[in-house]
A and B are shown apart, each in its own frame.
Chain A
Amino acid sequence: MNLKKTFLYCLKQSSPIFIAFLPVGLAYGVLMQNAGYNVLWVGLTSLFVDAGSLQFLMVNFFTDSVPLITVAVMALLVNSRHIFYGLPFIEKFRTLGPWRHFVTYYLTDETFSLHCARKCPEGVDEKWAYIFTTVQVVGYWLILSMLGTWIGSLITIDMTGVDFAMTALFVVILVDQLRGADNRLPAIAAVISSVVCLAIFGPGSFILPSLAVTVAALVLLRNVIEPGKEAA
């Protein structure tokens, strides 16, 4: 086991997320600062909540007198897609010992994607790869959002579009999965379901119905996707 090699491997894998977080993290810091919340509040929120869109929404919760029950409902709705992210890792995370709590706490879009994409080469320790990836992604978000309160408003370079790095990362991971797959139906079902749900429910609330429909479709298509494994 080589921890340094594992850390560097994870760093290479997670680096696009740092780029994608650059404008968003800094902008979040600026927004919080303008709402009267200093770097300490930004750090606390990024460390304990660690969820991009919810944290932006929370700025409104902080400044407007939104009832706390509404806060809870909104928080549950905004991140509802996360309920699916643990499913591929139920057995895997059991092997992580006490670290499983840490890795589960920070199972976001970004860490989920990197965990799915990882194919540990020789000398890279799988358990520590889960932990280091999480530390790095949480660290990027924490540092950039806190940095935003100090230097966010000073940055004048036009970073418009740099957040596309996240989309590009997801595309790259998907292409790798499609290339190695016996069956591409899961991706096709997900795209059809997402596009249809986006048209019906709109951009704000399509993702939960879309994932629910996809899961239902995957269950129905089980014989087609994994023929011969139906025995149980």
Chain B
Amino acid sequence: MQIDVTRSILIIVICAGCTVLERSLPFLVFRGKEVPRIIQYLGRVLPMAIMATLVIYCIKGITFTSVVGWAPYLIGIAITAALHWWGKNALFSIAGGTIAYMLMVQMIFV
């Protein structure tokens, strides 16, 4: 297949530029300034809010028309959370939850 080198490089430059612009935005807005109190407050509470959002983001493809569409996700999350709530070993909880999920999608809810 013949590829268009100039266009391909342009696409990479545009996508990289747009992405880094978004990642830098808060730093550009408050560059060299004292950070307002309300933004400092958001900085304290946003990590927890964003992690919760990312968990939902990971399971955004969930459907409730059949058990296969939701059970592996929700059970996998429940197992991971339970392991970590009581076990407190991050790698163990992640491995346990992931293996449980893999068993479910490969063997039970197929």
B45, A186: Cβ atoms under 8 Å? Answer: yes
A172, B14: Cβ atoms under 8 Å? Answer: no
**Which residues of chain B have C-beta atoms less than 8 A from A36's C-beta?**
1-3
**Whole-angstrom CA separation of A81 from B77 in the bound complex:** 22
Tier of interface size on chain B: 35 or more
Task: Give which listed residue, A35, A76, A181, contacts B48 with CB less than 8 A.
Answer: A181
B49, A82: Cβ atoms under 8 Å? Answer: no
A86, B23: Cβ atoms under 8 Å? Answer: yes
**Which residues of chain A have C-beta atoms less than 8 A from B93's C-beta?**
168, 171-172, 175
B43, A88: Cβ atoms under 8 Å? Answer: yes
**Which residues of chain B have C-beta atoms less than 8 A from A81's C-beta?**
53, 57
**Whole-angstrom CA separation of A88 from B106 in the bound complex:** 39
B22, A87: Cβ atoms under 8 Å? Answer: no
Given A166-B58, A171-B55, A198-B56, CB of A105 within 8 Å of CB of B47: no
Q: Which residue of A lies closest to B4 (CB)?
A: A62
**Whole-angstrom CA separation of A225 from B42 in the bound complex:** 11
The tally of residues in A whose CB lies under 8 Å from a CB in B reads: 95
Say yes or no: is B16 at the interface (Cβ < 8 Å to chain A).
yes
Given A162-B98, A206-B60, CB of A85 within 8 Å of CB of B42: no
Q: Mark A176-203, 1 if CB is under 8 A from B, else 0.
A: 1111010010111111011100100001
Given A176-B84, A177-B51, CB of A86 within 8 Å of CB of B15: no
A161, B106: Cβ atoms under 8 Å? Answer: yes
B52, A190: Cβ atoms under 8 Å? Answer: yes
**Whole-angstrom CA separation of A16 from B72 in the bound complex:** 19
B60, A165: Cβ atoms under 8 Å? Answer: no
Interface of A: prevailing SS: helix
**Which residues of chain B have C-beta atoms less than 8 A from A82's C-beta?**
19, 22-23
Say yes or no: is A138 at the interface (Cβ < 8 Å to chain B).
no
A76, B18: Cβ atoms under 8 Å? Answer: yes
Say yes or no: is A154 at the interface (Cβ < 8 Å to chain B).
no
**Which residues of chain B have C-beta atoms less than 8 A from A211's C-beta?**
50, 53
A207, B53: Cβ atoms under 8 Å? Answer: yes
Of residues 57 through 91 on chain B, the ones whose CB sits less than 8 Å from some CB of chain A are: 57-61, 72-73, 76-77, 80-81, 84-85, 90-91
